Each structure stands twice: as C-alpha cells, then as structure tokens.
Amino acid sequence: MQDVCIIGGGIVGLATANALLTKRPGISITVLEQEQQPGLHQTGHNSGVIHSGIYYAPGSLKARLCREGAAATEAFCAENDIPVEVCGKHLVATNALEASRMEALAQRADENNIAYERIDATELRSREPAIAGVGALFIPSTGIVDYQLICQVLARKITQSGGQVVYGARVDRIEETASQIVVHAAGQAYQARWLVACAG
C-alpha cells in the first residue's frame, strides 16, 4: 500500500512526485510510466522553451505562474547542473496585420514587466537571414532547456527520496473502494490511498 500513486512519468507527474516528497518526507509514492524512460511524449516533443509569460493577460494567474515557473525551472537547473541557454526569442510579424498584433504584445510585455526590444525588418534580416518578416519583438529573457533531461534528474531525485518510478507500466484499469485505489498496469496491481492522474 502506497500513500500516492501517480500515473504519468512526464514532467508534470515527476514534478508532482518530487514536490510531494519534498514537502512530506517519508511519504510513499509510486509513479507509473508506460514507456521505458521518462518524458518521451509531450514533455520531450516541445520546443524546449522556458517562456517569459508575454502572451498572458496582465495580472492573470497564467502570467504570474509562467514567470514563477520560469524562475523555478532555472533555479532547479542551476541546482542540478542542467544546462540552460538564455538565448532570447524573436516574435516575428510577417505582414501588416501581424505587426499591429505585435504592438498589442508589446503593450502586454510592458504591463507584465517583461523586457523587450523592437526590431525592424532590416535588423531582423541581419540577425536571422532565413526569416522573412516586417519586424519583430526580441524577448531577451526567454531560454531553452532539455526537458527530458530535467525528467531524468527528477526521476533520480524521486528514487533517492524513497519513491519509485516504474517503467513499462501502461495503466489498463483502475478500481476504487472506500479505503483504497487499485491501479492495474502491466500485470501488476498498485494499491494507494490517493491517485494523481498526470498522463497526457
């Protein structure tokens, strides 16, 4: 019997397990992942960007959590020797309509206290010859990271803290009673008091 069973060994499931083990040392946790290593689905098939939060409405929970999440991601990487490249990002307008929308993004950046630089077409061509645009906003705080590597570190921290990550464990059935939840995966039954679904 485990305290918590988490379905999904991507960044959400592993970060959840790590946070629970950090906040409640000694809690028993099992993470079930259908693949043979962590982060092979959405986590490993994105752009790897650590977003600045420019797209979100000022004052919104999304804007705040994006900024806090970026800072937390960079801090976690620094603590665990995971390379982060703060290379910045160009938000490119390819026509007049997009250029007007870019002005709205600049205003949103001002309101969210995100630094940016206006780039005209000539400067954009000089910086990025393969990109055709009428202008851009350059966001210097945007970074990139290998999220699969973050997952591997998280999985290692979970096992070092007494949790377990089970690979090749595709969930095919869940049973619930008044006292427990039983998760069936790859011919095994995992009993837990709480179930957290973090599958894609």
The helix (run of H) or strand (run of E) holding residue 192 is: strand 188-197
Q: What is the pLDDT of residues 173-188, one digit of tens each?
A: 999 999 999 999 999 9
The pTM of the full predicted model, rounded to 2 decimals, is 0.89
Q: What pLDDT shows up at residue 200?
A: 82
Question: Tokens for 110?
Answer: 């001002």
User: Would strands 143-145 and 84-85 be described as parallel, antiparallel, or unpaired?
Assistant: antiparallel
Distance from C-alpha of 162 to C-alpha of 28, rounded to nearest angstrom: 7
Distance from C-alpha of 64 to C-alpha of 53, rounded to nearest angstrom: 8
Give the domains, in start order, of the chain with CATH numbers.
2-48+146-197 (3.50.50.60), 51-143 (no CATH)
Indicate the Cα dihedral angle 20, 44, 39, 85, nearest 10°.
-50
Residue 125: band (very low, low, confident or very high) from pLDDT cuts 50, 70, 90: very high
